Amino acid sequence: MRLMLVALAALLLAVAPAQAGDQDTIEVTAKLVEIPGKFPPDDLYDYAYVMKYKVQGGKLDKKTILVAHYKPRRARKKIKDQMKKHVGGKLKKFKQGDVHVMTLDPNLQKIWQGAVIDDFFASDRKSTRYWCLKVDPKK
């Protein structure tokens, strides 16, 4: 079932219009409220994993957002492959309940065309999936 959702999400993202590509990146401080399921092993394939956050402050204050992170099993600084230019920050591990400071791009498909594990897709197809360019723990 999960593989089918991943394939469907990837297909829809690939054909979705690139309307958000002209928007600027945004900076948010947000609490990680849900990591659905378990991260797959990194050695199987490259993927982005969608997690749910609650924004704290700014123009998106108290909004729930969905954020895609590339290979979340790895510390951000240990990403050394072709995605290094699109992934950064000091975060070592994703843990539900932690607060992160993130730089986000509202057009995920502009940066990532690979597999997307999005367990929220079945219940929420309309919300923007942000690509996380940089994530740091809140100090």
d(CA 62, CA 64) in angstroms, rounded, equals: 7
Determine the 3-state secondary structure of 11 from DSSP: helix
Q: Can you tell me which residue has the tokens 């240990």?
A: 78
Give the domain range for residue 19.
Answer: 2-137
Q: Check which CATH number belongs to the domain holding 29 and give it.
A: 2.40.50
Measured CA to CA in angstroms, residue 43 lies from 12, 23, 46, 74 at distances of 25, 33, 8, 11
Q: What angle do CA 26, 31, 37 make, to 5 degrees?
A: 110
pLDDT, tens digit, for every residue of 30-78?
999 999 999 999 888 999 999 999 999 999 999 999 999 999 999 999 9
Query: Which pair of structure tokens corresponds to residue 62?
Result: 């108290």
pLDDT value for 44: 83
pLDDT in tens, 4-28: 344 334 434 333 333 334 468 999 9
Q: What's the pLDDT tens digit per position in 78-99?
A: 999 999 999 999 999 999 999 9
Give, as one character, the DSSP assignment of residue 13.
Answer: H
Token digits of residue 49 = 């994993």
Per the structure, how many domains does the chain have? 1
